[in-house]
Chains A and B, each alone.
Chain A
Amino acid sequence: MNTRLRHEAAVFDSTEHMLHVVVPFLDEATAAGTPAVVRFGEEWAARLRDRVADPGRVDFVGGADDENPIRAVRAMNEAAQGHLEAGAPQIRLVGGVPDSAMSSRWAWEQWARYEAAFNEMYAELPAVALCCYPAWPAGHVHDDIAATHPRLVGGDGARENSSYVDPRRFVADRNPAPAERLDEDAPALELHDPHPGIAREAVRRLAERAHLADGQVEDLVLGANEVFTNAFLHGSRPVELRGWVADDELLLSIRDHGVGVDDPFVGMLQPPADRPEPGGYGVWLARMCSDLVTLRRDPDGFTVRMTARAR
């Protein structure tokens, strides 16, 4: 029995093909008494319920329609954690990505990075995680799938994947993300050490200029405030807030002159509720409240960048 993560991807050209792979994967778990958690959209979930041997032994959780991976996986993580805390020696996870996220370069960028991070964040998780993708997305999506999954499932079962890329290298090679290239122009917003209330108001106005929906504006203000707070509390002044807008896209940069953190995956996992010291929520919340968050250290400081696009 595996005691460490096996992160696998499977690409399907039809629903029947998906069922052909996933049903035995789940039935095998049921037969072995291994808990299984599934995060699928309603259509695939309904088909699975009809076909697995004992649907009552499989947790079907929500979040499958969320384009933001940090939000999308939350229910699955909680269910998995519950099984492990109850004593399960191993679990099986099955998940997918919303179609809309695979056809948007903005949304896919965060998913691709999350898939890479998953390998490092959950390296010690006693789980087999099967990520299910359709065949239709563009080639670059499939390139990313191959680069972020150490094992691929084919007609003859799962095999080691020679295209897999070290997660940190994968992320580093993608910087700057396309969405970050708005900074080639002069910023529309530039504030040094602003009062938090003034910073929030400035972000709000910028978000409205980018035609973000009301909910997106609120989200961005919440997330930016947490990053801004981190910069003040843990970084070194001056804290610099900059923003760019082009059409319906927005880039925020929050920079301080401290050393920052060296982990590009900070905030991709929910901070444990029982952590003795408060904190750790800032970047996690920022990731849930925007389309993409990147962290960058350089010799002069630390920069967190948030991007969002009007929906």
Chain B
Amino acid sequence: MRRCELVGEPVGLGPHDHVAWAHEGTADFRRGLVAFLDEGLAGDEQLLYYAPREQSEMLDDVAGLAQSSGLLESGRLRIVPVTRRTSDFTRLETARMMQGLRDRVADALSGGFHGLRMASEVTPTFTSAEDSAAQLRLECVVDQITARLPLVALCAVDGSSVVGPPEQALFAMHHLRGGLAGVDAPWLSAIDDDTWLLRGQVDLVNRHGFAAALAALPSAMSGTALHLWVDQLEFIDVAGLRALVGLADSMSDHGRVVLHSPPSWLSKMIRLAFGDVRGLELVGGEGWIPGCAR
């Protein structure tokens, strides 16, 4: 099971870790990025840095890394500027990108490395609703890949822009979070393909961010059932539940949402507030509701 916790800096990480880190500006980002990549060097990992930035700026970002030129020349460190808006990528292109990421992990392993360490700075993608939604869909896929493969992923964002539901959703999709100021998100982390763990509390403070994160999950599905383990969910209010129920309803023609091991209070709340829900199945736990699934 991947740990869900707050971290101070993007270091102390290992395979399968996916961290969101709110930095305090360019200098702070570069310091954290270098520390993150440095740790990868020490751990015999292949390094990848991609971001929606100019190549020259990205070179400056990694300049603090010892022997960065040599690392770039040898291919140990690769930098990939992304020039297109995230929302411009078609789903097929996104799927190809993700396959490309899997291939890079495989390449790293076949090259004798222990895995791949990937960093990104995604602040520019949170300037429009379309881009942020696309970024969230991307994060879903990355989190699923990270859960399964020896990949360490850092998703950095300027802390001063962490103000709204899309940024909350971004943090919700990372089981490790650093440099947080005021972000109070539940935890939604991949366990396996189409299978997620939902932890923490969903309420007035983060309900919109939770809904945005939840809405992104189907984009990463390979099957027809979205599985959510909710035994560690501490609280969800009616609005959060409505997002969940709405997702199940929207998927009901071609799939379903399966809640695994719901606590008794959650089963009761679904029953009280929504009764039978199309496309929602509750399995195991204290509160299995016969007939809740259709």
Contact = CB atoms under 8 A, between A and B. Distances in A.
A148 interface: no
A221 B275 CA distance: 20
Contacts of A200: 203, 235
A285 B242 CA distance: 13
Contacts of A303: none
A226 B242 contact: no
A3 interface: no
Nearest to B276: A78
Interface string B198-226: 00010111000000000000000000000
Given A71-B272, A226-B237, A233 B204 contact: yes
A74 B235 CA distance: 25
Interface in A219-254: 219, 221-222, 225-226, 228-229, 232-233
Interface stretch (B58-66, B75-83, B104-112, B261-269): B261-269
Interface string B257-292: 000000011001100111100000000000000000
B239 interface: yes
Interface string B142-177: 000000000000000000000000000000000000
Contact of B203 (A78, A197, A288): A197
Interface in A261-286: 273, 278, 281-282, 285
Interface centre among A222, A232, A282, A289 (most CB of B within 10 A): A222
Chain B interface main SS type = helix
A155 interface: no
A121 B238 CA distance: 24
A232 B204 contact: yes
Interface string A191-235: 000011100100000000000000100110110011011001100
A239 to B, nearest CB: 11
B272 A285 contact: yes
Interface residues on B, range: 10 to 19
Interface in B132-150: none
Contacts of B273: 281, 285
A74 B264 CA distance: 20
Residue of B237, B265, B274 with most partner-chain A CB within 10 A = B237
Contacts of B201: 196-197
B267 to A, nearest CB: 11
B205 A218 contact: no
B264 to A, nearest CB: 7
Interface of A: 71, 74, 78, 195-197, 200, 215, 218-219, 221-222, 225-226, 228-229, 232-233, 273, 278, 281-282, 285, 288-289
18 contacts: A196-B203, A197-B201, A197-B205, A197-B235, A215-B264, A218-B264, A218-B265, A218-B268, A219-B268, A225-B237, A226-B238, A228-B204, A229-B237, A229-B239, A233-B204, A278-B242, A281-B273, A285-B238
Given A74-B275, A285-B238, 17 more contacts: A78-B275, A195-B205, A196-B201, A196-B203, A218-B268, A219-B265, A221-B235, A222-B265, A225-B235, A225-B237, A226-B237, A226-B238, A229-B237, A281-B238, A281-B273, A282-B238, A285-B272
